[in-house]
Amino acid sequence: MYYLTTEGAFDAAHFLKDYDGKCSNLHGHRWRVLVKIKSETLIEDGQERGMITDFGNIKEILKKEVDFFDHSFIYETGSLKSTTLSALLSEDFLLREVPFRPTAENFSKYFFDKITAAGFTVSEVCVYETPNNCASYSL
């Protein structure tokens, strides 16, 4: 099996509603996303001969996905009061609503699904919340 890994990153804020601890407060991370794709074979001809794919192909998709969240406030659907949401919108903050609790675990599955939908055979996605802590998703 051949593997190819690339990395993207974004800076964003979030909080965990109904969490008993400091992560219930609004805070930010430098999220790192590592995507590993796999293939049993390599391309046999053309410019990409000897490759799974050109690194640029997977990097382009990952960049698009991480840029969507960069410098935003990520919140779970239903986790903010309507008055809070209205106030944030009135300040023109970049808000990104997600249908899941914004944890590293859920983001690893989110990015796995996005990259898979783009046509790559994903082996694993790891999402780092901090330099020392990551969560991963694989099949």
Q: How many domains does the chain have?
A: 1
Q: What tokens were used for 47? A: 């410019």
Within 8 A by CB and 6+ apart from 13, the residues are 26, 27, 28, 29, 72, 73, 74
Q: Which residues contact 108 (CB under 8 A, 6 or more apart)?
A: 125, 126, 127, 135, 136, 137
Residue whose entry in the numeric block shows the structure tokens 């794709």? 37
And the tokens for 114? 């996005």
pLDDT at 79: 98
**Separation CA 80–CA 120 (nearest Å):** 35
Structure confidence by residue, pLDDT tens digits, 42-71: 999 999 999 999 999 999 999 999 999 999
pLDDT digits (tens, 9 = 90+) for 66-107: 999 999 999 999 999 999 999 999 999 999 999 999 999 999
Q: What is the pLDDT of residues 8-35, one digit of tens each?
A: 999 999 999 999 999 999 999 999 999 9
Query: For residue 85, what pLDDT is reported?
Result: 97
For residue 52, what pLDDT is reported?
Answer: 97
Q: Amino acid identity of 91?
A: E
CATH of the domain at 57: 3.30.479.10
Nearest to 138 by CA among 108, 104, 118: 108
CB 3 within 8 A of CB 38: yes
Range of the domain at 38: 2-138
pLDDT digits (tens, 9 = 90+) for 105-125: 999 999 999 999 999 999 999
| Whether 76 contacts 101, CB under 8 Å | yes
